[in-house]
Structure 1
Amino acid sequence: MRVAIAGAGAVGRSIAAELLENGHEVLLVDKAPDAIKVDSVPQAEWLLADACEISSLDEAALQRCNVVIAATGDDKVNLVVSLLAKTEYGVPRVVARVNNPKNEWLFNEAWGVDVAVSTPRLMSALVEEAVSVGDLVRLMRFSQGDANLVELTLPGDAALVGTRVGDVAWPEDTALVTIIREGRVLVPGKDDSLEAGDELLFVAAPHREEELEELLSA
C-alpha cells in the first residue's frame, strides 16, 4: 500500500515509521526545509513541497496513493489537503488530523475526510474508557457512513449479564464487533454469553447511541 503523509513533523514521522515497519510505501511531504529530516526515516520518500498546491501533489503522484494522511499542525492545511486528495486525485482513503476540537465538525465527507482523528478527544475518550463502567464512551468517529466506534464496560447488575449475544434485540444500525474479556479479544458469536466486566465495542450510528446505552446499562 502506498501512503502519502502531508506534514513531516514529529507526528508525521512517527506515523511513517510505523507504516514502513508494516511493509507499506511512504511519502512524506512538507514545505518547511527544516522538517525534511531524511535521516530520521531513511526508508521513506521525501518531498520538499507545499501539499496545498496542485503542482506539488502532481509531483507527489497522489493518484498512485491508496491513502493520504493530512498530519500537519494546521487544521486549514489538513482540510485543503484532504479535499484535494479526494476530489482531484480520487484517493480511496483520506485520514486527517484535527488539532483544535472546535474545528472537528468540519472534518467530514464534504471536505474529503474519511476518518478524522482528534488527539484531544481521543485522549479524553481513553481516560473515560479506563474509568467508566456502564457508560457509553465514543472512541472514534467514522466520517464515511456516519458511524462511531463506541465502548461500554458491562456492569455486574446489568440485565443482559448471562444473556446470549444472539438473543439480544440490538438496536438497528449497531453492530457488536468485539468483546474484550480478561485481556482476551473475542469475536462474538450468537451462542456467546455476556459477562459482567465485558468490554463491548460497537460500531453504531450516532442516533442509536442513547438507545444502546439504555439497553446495556444497569
Structure 2
Amino acid sequence: MKVAIAGAGAVGRSIARELIGGDHDVVLLERRRENIDVDAVAGATWVHADACELDNLEQAQLQTFDVVIAATGDDKANLVVSLLAKTEFAVGRVVARVNDPRNEWLFGEDWGVDVAVSTPRILASLVEEAVSVGDLVRLMTFRQGQANLVEITLPQDTSFAGKPVRKLVLPRDAALVAILRGGRVIVPQPDDPVEGGDELVFIAPAEVEDDLQAAILQS
C-alpha cells in the first residue's frame, strides 16, 4: 500500500515507522527543511513540500497514493490537506489527526476526511474502557458519525460464557470484528466461544449502540 503522510513531526514519523514495519511504501511530506532527517525514518521517502499547496501535491503525484494521512500539529492544515487529497486527487482513504477536540466536528466528509483520529478522545476512551465493565465505550468514529468502533467488556459472570459467537443476536448493521482476550486478538469465527472478561469490539451505527449494549448484556 502506498501512503503519503503530511507532517514529519513526532507523530508523522511514528506513523511512518509503523507502516514501514508493515511493508508499506511511505512518503513523508514536510514543509520545513530543517525538520527533514532522512536517517530518522529508515525506508521512508522524504519530500520537501507544503502539503497545503496544490502545486506541491501535484509534483508528489498524490493521485497515485492509496492513503493520505494528515498528521500535522495544525488542525487547519490537516483539513486543507484532507480536502485537497479527496477532491483534487481522488485519494481513496484520507485519515486526519485532530489536535484540538473542539474542532472534531469539522473533520468529516465535507472536508474529505474518512477517519478522524483525536488523541485526547482516544485516551479518554481507553480510560473509560479500563474501568467500565459492561458499558459500551466508543473508541473511534468513521466518516463523522456514519459508523463507530465500539467496545464492550463482558462481566466475568456473564450468562453467555461458553456459548459460540453465532448465538449473539446483534442489531441490524452491527458487526463483531474482534475479541480481545488477555494478550490475544481473536478474529471471531461462528463457533468461537465467548468468555467472561472478553472485550468485544464492534462496528456499529450510533443509532443502534443502545440496542447493541442491551443485546450483549442480556445474552
If the length of structure 2 is used for normalisation, what is the TM-score? 0.91
The match for 2:9 is 9
Q: CA deviation at 1:158?
A: 4.1
Is 1:199 matched up with 2:199? yes
Q: Percent identity?
A: 61
Distance (whole Å) between structure 2 residues aligned to residue 92 and residue 6 of structure 1: 16
Aligned-partner SS, 2:203:
strand
Distance 1:170 1:120, change over 3 A: same
Shift of 1:160: 3.6
C-alpha distance in 1 between matches for 2:174 and 2:211:
10
Determine the structure 2 residue equivalent to 1:186.
186
Q: Provide the secondary structure at the position in 2 that maps to 1:217.
A: helix
What aligned pairs does 1:20-39 form with structure 2 within 5 A after superposition? 20-39=20-39
Amino acid at match of 1:37: D
Q: How does 1:113-132 map to 2 (within 5 A)?
A: 113-132=113-132
Do 1:158 and 1:216's aligned partners in 2 also have CA atoms closer than 8 Å?
no
Deviates more, 1:96-105 or 1:122-131: 122-131
Which runs of 5 or more residues in structure 2 are unaligned? none
Q: 1:193 to 1:74 in 2, by over 3 A?
A: same
The answer on whether the counterparts of 2:107 and 2:144 sit within 8 Å (CA) in structure 1 is: no
Give the counterpart letter for 2:201 in structure 1. Answer: L
Residue 178 of structure 2: SS of its match in structure 1?
Answer: strand
Q: How many residues align?
A: 218
TM-score, normalising length: structure 1: 0.92
Conserved 8 A contact 1:159-1:216: no
Change (3 A) 1:101 1:181: same
Unaligned runs of 5+ in 1: none
Moved more, 23-32 or 49-58: 23-32
